[in-house]
Structure 1
Amino acid sequence: MRPFWLTQALEQAPEAPAPSLERDLRVDVCIVGGGYTGLWTAIMLRQQAPGLRVALIEADLCGAGASGRNGGCVLGWASKYPTLHRLFGEEEARRLVVESERSVAEIGDFCREHGIEAEFRHDGTLFTATNGAQQADIAPLMNGLAERGIGSFASLEAAEVQRRSGSARHRQGWFSPRAATVQPAKLARGLRRVARELGVELFERTPMQALERGRPARVVTPRGSLIADKVVLATNAWTARLLPEYRRTIAIVSSDMVITEPAPEALAETGLVDGVSVLDSRTFVHYYRTTPQGRLMLGKGGNTFAFGGHVHGVFDRPSRYRAALRQSLTEFFPRLAEVPLAASWTGPSDRSVTGLPFFGALPGHANIVYGFGYSGNGVGPTRMGAKLLTALVLEQNNLWRRSPLARGPLGQFPPEPVRYLGSLMVRNAIRRKERHEDLERLPRPWDRWLANFAAAAGKSDKLAS
């Protein structure tokens, strides 16, 4: 099953798949993965080094993975500042927050320059609290960011939050103008077009079956191979299957989404009429936003965990949590209770231990570089990741290549089955805890204790996309 966004993109701009690789090919750079990270990196390499022969292979169609099925919220890293500061220090933490917000504007500029009709709307984001516990948890973070001049969030009165969000459920909120929304598959397909126009050799329906590490390296596919001086691995949630040694560095967690049929009149009655994204402060966040066609998309993270880090079949089916998402949508928007749902789907998120992506070269193989672990917030930061990967490939002496983000994974999850069983225990404790908090009741100590492991494992990314 194709997710809603990709189905819509392919229907509105049908294009035959690129050919699969049917021969052995010698190139300068081989990129594995046709999502945002791989496509942005291919584009930047050709822009900065036009003489390079760059090939990109994708196991399915470009945009068929997480890049074509996320919520389309283009967000920065301001809320990650405490983690960035703890790991990398003040200077780099500030730089990365600034770069993350700059990337939002750069994506819009790129779409306009290259005629990518990705429904880019630079209308900001609202980060909210829907109960007293969320207020107590999040207000100190947001107030601290404001005091330090980090990011662009500003506190709003409750009435203004409810007006901008379209829902009376929000009790407190902070607004940042440096965020946007996109139709994510249209963005991916637009990047695909630009990459080909720049001379990137694209092969779809061409999975990597093996990687022979050497100088040059050899990427083996079902009916051919790519011999390349440099290899970029941009496989994100599918990394565990391809690189077993990185299996414990990411955990695959679902984000489940529903989208309504067009209902512009009903949406207008709520007051939610622009492209603002709205995210609450749960551990596994609710997020929603409208589309230009008058639809409402709502999603929630943290429902399904993949054993062993493998992206299994449940991620390619309608969401098992459609009914729960329908209920959440109705609770946020009682006026939309009778609006039919057009679709539901599930997307895999590659969560790292820190909640931040990590980059580097395979040990002993400096010519094979990688980047994964966007942890649910990848639409904007993948452009940053591509800058870092481009610097690694071209061996540039710049801040991206020297960034501590390029030091590889900063921790591992426990081995299986401990990771999987522990994830389920923590998830269920979080659900019970947040049910109590919604009722303004004190959660049980056991549930509070277990829920704290989510923050320790980097799962409490409050601005997931």
Structure 2
Amino acid sequence: MQSTQYSSFWFKEALENEPDLRPRKLETDTTTDVCIVGGGFTGLWTAIQLKMKQPSLDILVIEKDLCGSGASGRNGGCMLTWSTKYLTLKKLYGEAEAIRLVKASEAAVYDIEAFCKAHGIEAQIRLDGTLYTASNRAQIGAMDPVLAALDKQSINAWQPWTKEKVQSESGSDVHLEGHFSSAAGTVQPGLLVRGLKRVAEEMGVTIFEHTPMTAIDRQQTPVRIATPGGNIRADKVVLALNAWMPSLFPEFKHSVVLVSSDMLITEPAPEHLKNLGLRDGKSVIDGRTFVHYYRTTPDGRLMLGKGGNYFSFGNKVSTVFDQPSRYQAILRAAFRRFFPAMQSVPLAMIWTGASDRSATGMPFFGRLADNPSVVYGLGYSGNGVVQSWMGGQILSSLVLEEDNDWARSGLVSGPKGAFPPEPIRWLGAILVRNAIRRKESAEDENQTPNWLDTQLSRFAQSAGKADKS
């Protein structure tokens, strides 16, 4: 089976910058103040925040493959915020906390850029904003309710663009309406996560790769974590496993549903992009339930992705997520629709990533009920590039038992809502997914969708728009 380190274009490119890579494995028993399980964005940001707050802490990170080989190294690299989730945030956590989280998510975009500059992480960050569009008539006006609510609180960073400007700046005549926010950008996620690993190690964090957790004894403190090479005893444990949590911790098996996001990227074609009007690093996201999203790269590539394709039965992280996308036909059709003039440009790679979609579309954090020394965070729902920075703030605050806005956040209340058990969950997900596909296909053709498809689609829409980071 293909190693996961080559399962996305971003991660393959990032590893080419590490020709002398020699992953360090745990090979003996050890003790530590804090053990972080999972070496992606959440785990590494948590380790870094802990070291910045309390440099004397002994912190150990274990990762079953290479740091960033999971969702962190294979997402779209869109740096998005929670501003479009304001109504969901308000409903879940109240008005004041919703306002705070929107502001914090927008500030995090710039905090990540500043951190990378300060620590020499060359991650191709381009803070050129994001453009949310309507790619058919049915999507027009979809953002109006949330924009009105943001206006009411004077926290609306979005500005409407004319149809002509939207089409010119997005590179596609498919878009009929658009709103732009400058508080966003794009990043090469593989370079970012590998850069965070380097910085964490420079700060004194010990990182073991190819070191999976095979068991955890959470009934006592210190907590004992077993790995193939040795046991770890830790006073505090952070579970930063995201999509892998449900299969390892039964209490989360109904908290998320694992769904794929599938991506393609072209070979460099800077002249084609210039002719289309794609001259910067903004991301473009349409108004579908399972969105299309695309962005360019500094060397002239075009990446396009689509969420909501493969739903995992029983939340198993199967080999499907480590292989070229089985939905290539859907991706290629979308690419042709948006960019008919790009059909002669060869594709460099097509891949798949797993997203842990929560019932609310928002991540959740907390402590294990049977051992408060073990904290966790998951459920980013495909919008975690920026939000994992805030996850690091939350988890580091919980580990240090700080009394601050992050530790008191409404996000720190465990999962809100649950999915039904199997096989109902999987059958329901496929039923709703297929209804959404038929509904949106009809809307693309300016036809009236089937009534039943419209009703079924509301099950997904009730959890909020499936934004993709």
- Of 264, 267, 272, the residue aligned with 1:258 is 264
Residue 207 of structure 1 and its aligned partner are, at CA, apart by 0.5
Task: Report what 2:287 is aligned to.
Answer: 281
Decide which moves more: 130-139 or 408-417: 130-139
Aligned residue in 1 for 2:336: 330
Aligned to 2:106: 101
Matched with 1:464 is 468
1:285 and 1:345 map into 2 onto residues whose CA distance is 17
Provide the aligned length of Structure 1 versus Structure 2.
463
TM-superposition CA deviations, 1:53-82 (whole Å, max 9, x none): 000000000010000000000110001000
Deviations for 1:397-449, whole angstroms, at most 9, x for unmatched residues? 10111111111111110000000010000000000000111111111110011
CA distance in 2: counterparts of 1:57 and 1:273, whole angstroms: 40
Query: In the alignment, what sits opposite 1:88?
Result: 93
Stretch deviating more after TM superposition (242-251 or 227-236): 242-251
**Aligned partners of 1:40 and 1:191 also within 8 Å:** yes
Distance 2:63 2:129 in 1: 32
Aligned to 2:124: 119
- C-alpha displacement at 1:223, in angstroms? 1.9
- Is residue 305 of structure 2 the alignment partner of residue 299 of structure 1? yes
- Aligned counterparts, 1:345-356, within 5 A: 345-356=351-362
Match of 2:450 in 1: 444
2:43 equivalent to 1:38? yes
Matching residue within 203, 206, 227 for 1:201: 206
C-alpha contact (below 8 Å) 1:351/1:459 kept by paired residues: no
- 2-side partners of 1:208 and 1:197: how far apart? 24
Q: Distance in 2 between matches of 1:142 and 1:283?
A: 18
Displacement of 1:298: 0.1
Aligned partner of 1:255: which letter?
S
Match of 1:23 in 2: 28
Instruction: Check if 1:381 corresponds to 2:387.
Output: yes
Match status 1:189 vs 2:194: yes
SS of equivalent residue, structure 1 residue 154 = strand
Alignment root-mean-square deviation, CA: 1.1
Q: Deviations over 1:177-197 (max 9, x none)?
A: 000100000000000000000
1-structure distance, mates of 2:416, 2:80: 23
2:154 alignment partner, one of 149, 152, 164: 149
In structure 1, distance between residues paired with 2:20 and 2:84: 39
Counterpart in 1 of 2:76? 71
User: Counterparts of 1:179 and 1:454 in 2: how far apart (Å)?
Assistant: 25
* Of 420, 423, 427, the match for 1:414: 420
* Inter-partner Cα distance in structure 2 for 1:12 and 1:18: 14
For 1:156, give the aligned amino acid. W
Instruction: Give the letter aligned to residue 202 of structure 1.
Output: I
**What's the secondary structure of 1:360's corresponding residue?**
strand
Answer yes or no: is the 8 Å Cα contact 2:86–2:146 preserved in 1: no
Task: Tell me the SS of whatever aligns to 1:272.
Answer: coil
Unaligned segments of structure 1, at least 5 residues = none
Partner-residue secondary structure (3-state), 2:418: coil
CA distance in 2, matches of 1:316, 1:411: 29
Partner Cα distance (2:461, 2:152) in 1: 23
Q: Distance in 2 between matches of 1:446 and 1:362?
A: 40
8 Å contact from structure 2 (residues 88, 464) kept in 1: no
Give 1:460 shift: 2.9
- Residue type of the partner of 2:405? L
Deviation at 1:277, TM superposition (A): 0.1
Q: Which amino acid aligns with 2:291?
A: V
Q: What amino acid is the match of 1:83?
A: T
Aligned partner of 1:226 in structure 2 is 232
Output the CA distance in 2 between the equivalents of 1:88 and 1:428: 32
Q: TM-score, normalised by structure 2?
A: 0.97
Counterpart of 2:255 in structure 1 is 249
Q: Percent identity over the alignment?
A: 55
User: Counterparts of 1:219 and 1:101 in 2: how far apart (Å)?
Assistant: 36
Secondary structure, in 3 states, of the residue corresponding to 2:90? helix
Distance 1:136 1:152, change over 3 A: closer
Q: Distance in 2 between matches of 1:37 and 1:265?
A: 37
Q: How does the TM-score come out when normalised to structure 1?
A: 0.98
1:47 offset after TM fit, Å? 1.1
Once the two structures are TM-superposed, the CA of residue 147 in structure 1 deviates from its matched residue by 4.1
- 8 Å CA contact 1:20–1:205 kept in 2: the answer is yes
CA distance in 1, matches of 2:429, 2:439: 15
